[in-house]
Structure 1
Amino acid sequence: MSALTARGVGLLVAAVVLVGTGFRFAYPELTLLGAAAGIAVGYAVLTAARRPRLAVTRSADPDRVARGEPAVMTLTVRNAGRLRAASLVAEDRCGDRAVPVPLLRLRPGRDTTVSYDVPTARRGVVPVGPLRVTRRDPLGLVALARPYGDTVPVWVHPRVHPLNAVPTGAGRSLDGRVDRVPHGSITFDSLREYVVGDELRRVHWRTSARVGELMVRENVDTSLPRIVVLLDNRAAAHPERVAGVAESFESACEAAASVLVAAYRADLPVVLLLVAPEPDGPGAAGDGMAHAGGPLDRLAAVRLVDDDVLDAATARLRRERLGDTLVFLTGAGGRGGLGVVGALRAAYASVVVGVFGAAESTPAGAAGLVVIDAVDGAAFAAEWDGVRRW
Structure 2
Amino acid sequence: MRRLWPLTVRGTGAAVLAVACFVIANEVGIVELMYFGILLIAVLVASVASLYLTRRTDTVTRSLSPDVATVGRDSLVTVRVGVRTALPTAPGTWRDTVPKGLSAAANGVFPALGSGLRGAERIVQLSYVVTGVRRGIHPIGPLQVTSTDPFGLARRTTVFGERTPVTVAPAVVDLPALTNFAGEAGGTLHTTNNQLGQGADNLIARPWVAGDSMRRIHWRATAHRDELMVRQEEQESTPEATVVMDRGVLRFSPEAMQAPGTDPGFEAAVSACVSVVSRLVHDGYAVEVIDSDGTVLAERMDGGDMTEVEGMVNQFASLTARRDDHLGKLGRVFAGVMTGPVVLVVGRFDPADAETVASVAHHSTLALLLAVSPVADSLERAAELGWHAAAIDPEGDLALAWSSAAERGVSHALR
Query: TM-score, normalising length from structure 2?
Result: 0.56
Q: CA deviation at 1:327?
A: 0.8
Residues 124, 300 of structure 1: 8 Å contact kept: yes
In the other structure, the counterpart of 1:252 is 269
Question: Residues 326 and 371 of structure 1: is their aligned pair in 2 closer, same or farther, counting only changes over 3 Å?
Answer: same
User: Which of the numbers 143, 162, 186 marks the counterpart of 1:132?
Assistant: 143
Cα deviation 1:260-298 (Å, max 9, x = unaligned): 3332332222233344899xxx6379xxxxx99523334
In the other structure, the counterpart of 1:54 is 59
In the other structure, the counterpart of 1:165 is 179
Higher alpha-carbon Rg: 2
User: Which of the numbers 258, 262, 285 marks the counterpart of 1:268?
Assistant: 285
Cα deviation 1:172-204 (Å, max 9, x = unaligned): xxxxxxx99971132146999x89666479xxx
Question: Residues 274 and 103 of structure 1: is their aligned pair in 2 closer, same or farther, counting only changes over 3 Å?
Answer: farther
- 1:137-148 matches, within 5 Å, as 145-148=159-162
Q: CA deviation at 1:230?
A: 0.9
**Partners of 2:347 and 2:177 in 1: CA distance:** 21
In the other structure, the counterpart of 1:384 is 405
User: Which of the numbers 330, 343, 359 marks the counterpart of 2:346?
Assistant: 330
Residues 160, 254 of structure 1: 8 Å contact kept: no
- 1:1-80 matches, within 5 Å, as 5=4, 52-60=57-65, 63-65=68-70, 67-69=71-73, 71-80=74-83
In the other structure, the counterpart of 2:368 is 352
Question: Residues 359 and 335 of structure 1: is their aligned pair in 2 closer, same or farther, counting only changes over 3 Å?
Answer: closer
In the other structure, the counterpart of 1:174 is none
Q: Which amino acid aligns with 2:311?
A: G
Q: CA deviation at 1:163?
A: 3.6
**Partners of 2:293 and 2:131 in 1: CA distance:** 28
- 1:240-319 matches, within 5 Å, as 246-275=263-292, 283=297, 293-311=310-328, 315-318=332-335
Residues 78, 112 of structure 1: 8 Å contact kept: yes
In the other structure, the counterpart of 1:227 is 241
**Partners of 2:180 and 2:274 in 1: CA distance:** 14
Q: CA deviation at 1:78?
A: 3.3
Q: CA deviation at 1:77?
A: 2.8
**Partners of 1:258 and 1:283 in 2: CA distance:** 15
Q: CA deviation at 1:299?
A: 4.6
Cα root mean square deviation, aligned: 5.2
- 1:97-136 matches, within 5 Å, as 99-100=106-107, 102-103=109-110, 105-106=112-113, 109-120=121-132, 122=133, 124-125=135-136, 127=138, 129-133=140-144
**Partners of 2:364 and 2:182 in 1: CA distance:** 12
Q: Which amino acid aligns with 1:348?
A: S
**Partners of 2:404 and 2:294 in 1: CA distance:** 29
Residues 288, 298 of structure 2: 8 Å contact kept: no
- 1:180-259 matches, within 5 Å, as 183-188=190-195, 199=216, 220-222=235-237, 224-239=238-253, 246-259=263-276
Q: Which amino acid aligns with 1:117?
A: V
Question: Residues 110 and 349 of structure 1: is their aligned pair in 2 closer, same or farther, counting only changes over 3 Å?
Answer: same
Cα deviation 1:99-144 (Å, max 9, x = unaligned): 3454464556544444333233x4524635244347999999x987
Q: CA deviation at 1:386?
A: 0.7
Unaligned runs of 5+ in 2: 7-48, 200-210, 219-230, 300-307, 411-415
Aligned residues: 314
Query: TM-score, normalising length from structure 1?
Result: 0.59
Q: CA deviation at 1:145?
A: 4.0
SS in 2 for 1:230: strand
In the other structure, the counterpart of 1:341 is 357
Question: Residues 102 and 305 of structure 1: is their aligned pair in 2 closer, same or farther, counting only changes over 3 Å?
Answer: farther
SS in 2 for 1:160: coil
Give the % identical residues. Answer: 14
Q: Which amino acid aligns with 2:347?
A: G
In the other structure, the counterpart of 2:29 is none
Q: CA deviation at 1:246?
A: 4.1
Unaligned runs of 5+ in 1: 8-43, 172-178, 202-215, 286-290
**Partners of 1:258 and 1:92 in 2: CA distance:** 32
Q: CA deviation at 1:300?
A: 4.5
Q: CA deviation at 1:371?
A: 3.5
Residues 388, 406 of structure 2: 8 Å contact kept: no
**Partners of 1:60 and 1:4 in 2: CA distance:** 33
SS in 1 for 2:357: helix
SS in 2 for 1:148: coil
**Partners of 1:86 and 1:342 in 2: CA distance:** 72
Q: CA deviation at 1:388?
A: 7.4
User: Which of the numbers 362, 365, 372 marks the counterpart of 2:389?
Assistant: 372
In the other structure, the counterpart of 2:97 is 93
Cα deviation 1:58-102 (Å, max 9, x = unaligned): 33358454x434x14232333342535678875423332783454
